[in-house]
Amino acid sequence: MALRIGDIAPDFTQESTAGPVHFHEWLGDSWGILFSHPKDFTPVCTTELGYTAKLKEQFAKRNVKVLAVSVDALDSHTKWVGDINETQKTTVNFPILADPDRKVSDLYDMIHPNANDTFTVRSVFFIDPKKKVRATITYPASTGRNFDEVVRVIDSLQLTDNYSVATPVNWKYGEDVIIVPSLQDPEVIKQKFPKGYTAVKPYLRITPQPNLP
Ligand code: BEZ
């Protein structure tokens, strides 16, 4: 069955461009992004992995480790990384899992046979430090993902965990957020949101992003 939000991300050991990855141990106390690409030496994947490498500081700031996977073999990945670095003017700085036996692809249901029975679709799994799946994104092979959106989702998830807020439609970092409806105790609200809030409706309470000065 497909993985759902709230499930524990399955553990595995698999080879990668940075040596064997024991997934849960490798994650440690970090957040994780596990994302699949359909095939090495393909144009969209080349741009995605290059851009992800350029986000290294953004992920590090948020305590996020990034791990790519495809069903291609390790020697193919290693050769392809050279092309990514050359064409995208970067250095791939995260491991790419080699998954020719489809161990990881099958565990995470990344092969959608009615789309293609050999290659993975473009999946993204957002995994929290307790190893829970917190969000997923699935795109077809022909549509490159928006990795700025991946960072934005991480920001939203971390704000929810740390400050009991949700993020509204098209929210961008720095904009107002919403106090989660489950938070009702006025004393706790006063303590958590010293800048106050505006109750547009009893269930729609807007407050400045709480982790900013
Ligand atoms: C790509 O990465 O460019 C790609 C891969 C599979 C199908 C279409 C595009």
141 and 168 both lie in a single domain: no
Known active-site residue 45: yes
Q: Report the distance separating Cα 177 and Cα 83, nearest Å.
A: 41
116 and 194 both lie in a single domain: no
Q: Residue 40 is part of which domain span?
A: 13-145
32 and 136 both lie in a single domain: yes
171 and 93 both lie in a single domain: no
137 and 51 both lie in a single domain: yes
79 and 107 both lie in a single domain: yes
**Stretch 127-134: mean pLDDT, rounded?**
98
In a domain, 3, yes or no: no
In a domain, 7, yes or no: no
Q: How many domains does the chain have?
A: 2
Average pLDDT, rounded, for the chain: 97
* Token representation of residue 139: 């795109």
* Token representation of residue 41: 């030496």
Are 89 and 56 a contacting pair, CB within 8 Å?
no
Q: Is the pTM of this model over 0.95?
A: yes
Counting Cα atoms < 13 Å in the Cβ hemisphere of 85 gives 10
138 and 173 both lie in a single domain: no
CA of 21 to the centre of ligand 1 (A): 26
pLDDT at residue 108 in the model? 98
47 and 131 both lie in a single domain: yes
In a domain, 24, yes or no: yes
**Stretch 58-83: mean pLDDT, rounded?**
98
In a domain, 91, yes or no: yes
pLDDT at residue 90 in the model? 98
In a domain, 119, yes or no: yes
In a domain, 153, yes or no: no
**Stretch 186-199: mean pLDDT, rounded?**
96
pLDDT band at 73 (very low <50, low <70, confident <90, very high): very high
Q: Report the distance separating Cα 40 and Cα 19, nearest Å.
A: 18
Q: Which tens digit of pLDDT belongs to each residue from 154-186?
A: 999 999 999 999 999 999 999 999 999 999 999
197 and 101 both lie in a single domain: no
Q: Report the distance separating Cα 10 and Cα 171, nearest Å.
A: 30
CA of 163 to the centre of ligand 1 (A): 39
35 and 118 both lie in a single domain: yes
107 and 140 both lie in a single domain: yes
DSSP 85-148: HHHHTS---S-EEE-TT-HHHHHTT---TTT-SSS--EEEEEE-TT-BEEEEEEE-TTS---HH
Question: Edge-to-edge strand order for the sheet containing 133-139?
Answer: 96-98, 64-70, 31-36, 122-127, 133-139
Q: Which tens digit of pLDDT belongs to each residue from 151-162?
A: 999 999 999 999
Measured N-to-C along each axis, helices 74-88 and 43-54 cross at an angle, to the nearest 10 degrees, of 70
In a domain, 38, yes or no: yes
Residue at which a domain ends, from 145, 179, 196: 145
Q: What is the CATH number of the domain that holds 124?
A: 3.40.30.10
pLDDT at residue 1 in the model? 72
In a domain, 95, yes or no: yes
In this structure, the residue with its CA closest to atom 6 of ligand 1 is 141
Active-site pick, 34, 45, 97, 121: 45
Closest atom, ligand 1, to C-alpha of 46: 2
134 and 171 both lie in a single domain: no
Q: Which tens digit of pLDDT belongs to each residue from 12-49?
A: 999 999 999 999 999 999 999 999 999 999 999 999 99
Higher pLDDT, 63 or 117: 63
